[in-house]
Amino acid sequence: MAANIENVTDAQFDAIVLKSSQPVLVDFWAEWCGPCRALAPKLEEISNEMTGKIKIVKVNVDENRDYAMKYGVRGIPTMIIFKNGGEVEQISGNVPKETIVAALNKQL
């Protein structure tokens, strides 16, 4: 995992995601999920390209179920973009990098 993508637990979610001053993309994933692993390199590239503009974090749904349930995550990978403490967009599946970048750019 890229150095600037951090793993977030349910206990940290409020402070790191909801109270962030910049938009945050949360990747809800699990170790056993093939599409999640395929998505990871794209998120690392985006994180490196958009450093300082957005934050990307990962939530392992096997270990941290509270926020996945709260935001209705039914399948993984699911990415949710948060801005000013609220959910602004949800993206499901291993989508093209351009799709993710376009969604993030709308929040800048």
Q: Clarify whether 41 is annotated catalytic.
A: no
104 C-beta neighbours (distance < 10 Å), count: 23
Contact status, residue 66 vs residue 108, Cβ threshold 8 Å: no
Helix (H) or strand (E) holding 55: strand 55-60
Q: Clarify whether 36 is annotated catalytic.
A: yes
Catalytic residue, from 5, 8, 26, 33: name it.
33
Catalytic residue, from 5, 25, 36, 46: name it.
36
CA separation for the pair 74, 71 (Å, rounded): 9
Buried b (16+ CB within 10 A) or exposed e, 18-50: eebeebbbbbbbeeebeebeebbebbbebbeeb
Question: Annotated active-site positions, please?
Answer: 33, 36
